[in-house]
Amino acid sequence: MTVLSASAVEQKLGTLKGWKLEGAEIVRHFEFPTFPAAIRFVNQVAEKAEAANHHPDIDIRYNKVRLALVSHDAGGLTDRDFGLAAAINQLA
């Protein structure tokens, strides 16, 4: 796994709706009509993450979900982060 350069990260972010760079992570916030809807979404994300063997940091606050991705084992952002972010966008 290769850590992406800052310019590569910016280019890839331009192709991902809703994701932003926060520190060393890419982050997206989601809002749902109810708490159960937020949990259903998180469960779908969990299935995608498990299949990819890459797990986001997840913060749930009632109907709001914050997802953060970074490849800790590689020491930064990699193609794996952007691949999972794209898969998550398909769920939203």
pTM of the model: 0.93
Amino acid, single-letter form, for residue 27: V
In a domain, 22, yes or no: yes
In a domain, 78, yes or no: yes
Query: What digits encode the pLDDT tens for the residues 40-57?
Result: 999 999 999 999 999 999
Spell out, as residue ranges, where the chain has pLDDT lower than 50: none
In a domain, 77, yes or no: yes
pLDDT at 1: 82
Residues 7 and 14: their CA atoms lie apart, in Å, by 11
In a domain, 21, yes or no: yes
pLDDT at 37: 98
In 3-state terms the chain splits into helix, strand, coil percentages (rounded to 5) of: 40, 25, 35
Question: Domain residues for 36?
Answer: 6-91
In a domain, 68, yes or no: yes
In a domain, 24, yes or no: yes
Contact call for residues 62 and 35 (beta carbons, < 8 A): yes
In a domain, 1, yes or no: no
Number of domains in the chain: 1
Q: What is the CATH number of the domain that holds 15?
A: 3.30.1360.20
